[in-house]
Structure 1
Amino acid sequence: MSARLGCIMLVHTALDRAAQVARFWAEAGSPVVIHVDARVGRAENQRLADALRDFPQVRFSTRYRCEWGTWSLVAAMQAASTEMLRAFPDVQHVFAASGACLPLRPVAELAGWLARHPDTDFIESVNVADVNWTKGGLSDERFAFHFPFAYKRHKWLFDRAVDLQRRMGVRRDLPDGIEPHIGSQWWCLTRETLGAILNDPSRPVFERYFRRVWIPDESYFQTLARLYARKIESRSLTLGKFDHQGRPHVFYDDHLQLLRRSGCFVARKIWPGAGRLYEHFLTSQASEDPEAEPQPSRIDRHFARATLQRVRGRPGLYMASRFPAKDRENGKTAEPYSVFQGFSEVFQDFEGWLAAVAKCRVHGHLFAPHKAEFSGREKVFAGGLSDKASLRDYNPRAFLTNLLWATRGERQCFQLGPADNTGAKHELLWFMATDSNAQISVISGAWAVPLYHAGGDMAAIRREAARLQRIETEMLEVLRSPWVRARIRIWTLAEFLENPTEPLHTLFDEIAPHQQARMIRIPERVDLSGFGAFLQELRNRGMQPVLMGDFPMNPSGTDLSIKVK
């Protein structure tokens, strides 16, 4: 193959992998000029040179001590490019790569593809005024301010210098004739364009300016190429993906098929330990379509999904990176669930009835004071959750979200009441009320039914009734808040018992919408004969029971059959 494509490589770590890649380029007939970071030790640098000694078309350029975001990276690329143009006059395109780059297709395919675009420079070059993907809070300021301090090594000084220049209104003058552009530092330029940049009489002026620009390796060639290129395609031929923080994605062995589908010529950033990737791609296997265009868009959706999952996570899964921050979760809980307040007090064996007819998991009072009443009264439930109240109450919200995460695919239902532990200021209830997955159904005043059946000292019952009514009043205020996102239904005990068929029918349709229609019986209601007189006795003793509604002294019976569709 005629040596029309040359590669410059910037290397600072994993020199053994860099040697493999350089050998791949050289064996295909492409000259390679390697810049080794001056921070690399002499012995390690010598081992790299010895590994490539058999390839006369592999050269090494003057070494610079490189640091992220500084002029040293541009100087390294200038040195390697100068050596490439000097030593290999037949090279027509120069491809810039790093030691972490990996060719994905044979070099001959890239050389042939470039031969079909002889006058085109492939360099991402976007006007800084039109860029919306810069990270770190600096866009046009990177060209307007002076940046004498390295960001990673002297971050405090860097930030103070930026703040000072903002207060002083510093604006640097641009060299005549240039308009700032930025883009990826991994480009592929024609010999004519690259030579014009390196030999420009104004190069000292440009260098003096760009030395104090922030991240000049992403702007020096990108800006000056606009002065000399006959035709620019503003894109990099190197596949590189970045996350929401501007950091590059690292490719591992399990990305093999993804990289193959991209059709790209080169990818970065490859993990040095990805032996399978290096073994697969550093062979001269021709592609199915040697003239195929690189199509990184084929895999964009995978990275978009990965970024979304990293930023937002999965619904109901609390990651350490987001756990401390309120409202940064992607959905409070993992699955829809139902909360019933007052139903187990009104109906006998409400849990068993609902589990049988709706085919769902029905718990008792998960937040009862003495313990968590799991379905079947298990001591340890899904996800290793214990029924011990002390463990549950350490973080009731995490207890609920863990239970729902561990039982994904199965509808969870549980009972709640004013005697349960919902945390200070009903913190847990607020959490559920603002959760769009929650369905909360309340029969207000139903807590009085167990008091009625318990009997005993009426004075003590009156005090307990007053306490529970006060708590439930606060709970109802939460459920009627304008911030509520859950599906809330509230009935007074009196209006519910007038016609329990309709609300149970509605709740059943929501919990089990795909169940086949059949005739069932609603659960048997507890005996409420004399309950009206009980409420009157509470009034007589100075406690006004208001949450039950207008409950009659002798309530009539109700129809116990319900047709479920």
Structure 2
Amino acid sequence: MLTAVGDYIAIHFDARAKPEHFEQIKTELGDNPNVVFARKRIKCGWGEWSLVQATLYAVEAAVDAFPRATHFYMLSGDCAPIKSASYAHEFLDSSDVDYIESFDYFESDWIKTGMKEERLIYRHFFNERTQPKRFYASYNLQTKLGLTREIPRDVQVQIGSQWWCLRRRTIEWIIDFTRKRRDVMRFFRTTWIPDETFFQTLVRHLVPEKEISTRTLTFLMFTDYGMPVTFYNDHYDLLLGQDYLFTRKISPEALELKRRLGTLYANDNATFQISDEGRSLFKFLSARGRDGRRFASRFWETESSLGRERELMIVVCKKWHVAKRLMERIRQVTNLPAIEYLFNEESTALPDLGGIQGTLAKRTRHRRALMRMLFDYYETDRLIVCMDPGSIDLLQDFCGDRATTKLLEVQCDFTDEYLIGHAMRVGLAGEQTPEDTLERLLPTIRGDMTYESDSIRDADFENHLILRESDERDQHADLLVRFLDISREKAQEITQQDHLFAD
């Protein structure tokens, strides 16, 4: 794919592979002037220094063999381009920067679980995956004896994806650095998973910050189990819409996908509509988990009751603007404290409650404590809040409280235009998402909204009222009388709003 349009490629072929396989690829590519092989092959292992060393061998071979190369792009055998060569070249020439993820090793949350500081301050001589007993025996012995080491004083360790694209000048600086700074090389040789730290750290050490774009140009996704997502023949349109130049992992069996991407790379006239919804779309579809739709409800901390004498009224509506209009009218007519989507929208206006209201995560984790504090703050025993129908765990929690809890579910009509707008607002689609992609997505989104409403009904909440957009205003008023425990005159005053359901 790459050399057909004039690009160069330097290959390090893992020494663990069968000799006949290496001979085959070397024979097939031996006459190609745009291909060079690393001067030395080594056996590579996940998480080992060998991955970095193999990359350095390939980079050194490329620098020597291809003096006209301007950018060096790290790829694996599972990668493939998802743009044309002309698009990629123009993209790289448009900005004089290096593309590499590099975040502060200790301050960032790039590492979610497992070892962090221990990757650096202890020496790792064995592979955790292939030699787990030796790996942990060595680690435990060092911790017991306190055999820690210092990080080189003038190096601030960074971390990020190993799929980078660096300018020639940067690559030459790195090669020169590896030859001069033997102390840094000795340090990284015995760190754990150095392919996530070595180049990331050196680029930050050598290149001005304004010349670094902290992103990867390779589109990749991971499942909730930490495994890379594999792409197949039917992912062609999705991949082309992402704001990246390459992707991984392409399935070895996706021969048609590889053929189409190879043809695309050589097509100078290809145009691209960047929608960039891949990750959010994957998260949306894959999160519909264990019962065939979504992950099971998580446990939450048990807190004391809101208060047996208190009354919590919850307006549940998928169209947030409709619920907000209704809440504003309720506030004006009844003077009851009414708070909009406090568990769904970070920017919801809340009083200062000592920090518990600061983030959505805190509000949700301490939901009952937050609600008790709101009752106290407003000096009331009656409070109205809005929630999204997808927050079924919150609804179950509050409806199970000793306090009186009422639900008013506002069911709106959903046109295709509204659903497309909703998909764009939540990142499932973009302005450039093809129509056929939207057509396939709409039934899933509509079904998801129906499922949320069915889940509320299936929960069989005691005080559950449904206000439908299609009902007459008199019916709306009757429901508000029961929900708010107000006079019919006030309920009718609330429902006089002409554009309550307008989008």
After TM superposition, which residue ranges in structure 1, 4 or more long, deviate above 4 angstroms? 163-170, 287-290, 310-313, 408-412, 509-516
Partners of 2:113 and 2:141 in 1: CA distance: 17
Match of 2:60 in 1: 82
Q: Secondary structure at the residue paired with 2:2?
A: helix
Deviation at 1:164, TM superposition (A): 4.5
Structure 2 unaligned blocks of 5 or more = 301-390, 394-450, 473-503
Question: Contact conserved, 1:251 with 1:269, CA < 8 A, in 2?
Answer: yes
8 Å Cα contact 2:72-2:167 kept in structure 1? yes
Matched, 1:269 2:249: yes
Structure 1 counterpart of 2:156: 179
Match runs of 1:63-142 below 5 Å: 63-117=41-95, 119-142=96-119
- TM-superposed CA distance for 1:246, in Å, is 2.9
Give the structure 2 partner of residue 563 of structure 1: none
Residues 1:243 and 2:218 aligned together? no
Identity in percent: 30
Q: Who is 2:129 aligned against?
A: 152
Whether the 8 Å contact between 2:85 and 2:268 is mirrored in structure 1 is no
Residue 307 of structure 1: CA displacement? 4.8
For 1:40, the equivalent position in structure 2 comes to: 17
> Which residue does 1:398 correspond to in 2?
none
Of 263, 288, 293, the residue aligned with 1:314 is: 293
Could you say what secondary structure the match of 1:40 adopts? Answer: coil
Residue in structure 2 matching 1:216, options 194, 210, 220? 194
**Structure 2: how far apart are the matches of 1:313 and 1:331?**
16
- Given that 2:156 and 2:205 are in contact with CA atoms closer than 8 Å, whether structure 1 keeps it comes out as no
What is the one-letter code of the residue matched to 1:190? Answer: R
Please, which of 236, 245, 267 is the counterpart of residue 285 of structure 1?
267
User: Secondary structure, in 3 states, of the residue corresponding to 1:262?
Assistant: coil
Q: Deviations over 1:215-246 (max 9, x none)?
A: 01111111011122241111111111122333
Whether the 8 Å contact between 1:105 and 1:287 is mirrored in structure 2 is: no
1:252 aligns with 2:196: no
**C-alpha separation in 2, matches of 1:311 and 1:209:** 44
Match of 1:56 in 2: 33
Q: Secondary structure at the match of 1:97?
A: coil
2:120 is aligned with 1:143: yes
The 1-side partners of 2:452 and 2:79 are apart by: 43
1:174 deviation in Å?
Answer: 1.3
Tell me how far apart the structure 1 counterparts of residues 3 and 140 of structure 2 sit (CA, whole Å).
Answer: 48
State yes or no: 1:25 paired with 2:6: no
Shift of 1:104: 1.0
Aligned to 1:438, which of 435, 447, 459? 459
TM-score normalised over the length of structure 1? 0.51
Report the aligned-residue RMSD. Answer: 3.8
Aligned residues of 1:250 and 1:270 also touching (Cα < 8 A): yes
TM value normalised by structure 2: 0.57
C-alpha distance in structure 2 between counterparts of 1:183 and 1:148, whole Å: 22
Q: Could you list the per-position Cα deviations for residues 135-176 of structure 1 after superposition, in whole angstroms to 9, with x for gaps in the alignment?
A: 441223322222222011122333344445445555321123
Question: Is 2:42–2:54's contact at 8 Å kept on the other side of the alignment?
Answer: yes
How many residues are paired up? 327
C-alpha displacement of 1:262: 0.7
Match of 2:279 in 1: 300
Check conservation: 1:239, 1:296, Cα contact below 8 A.
Answer: no
Deviations 1:160-194 (A, max 9, x none): 44445445555321123211001111111111111
Instruction: Tell me how far 1:438 sits from its aligned partner.
Output: 3.2
Assess, with a 3 A threshold, how the Cα gap between structure 1 residues 313 and 129 changes in structure 2: closer, same or farther.
farther
- 1:159 and 1:287 map into 2 onto residues whose CA distance is 55
Instruction: Tell me, yes or no, if the aligned pair for 2:100 and 2:161 is still in contact at 8 Å.
Output: yes
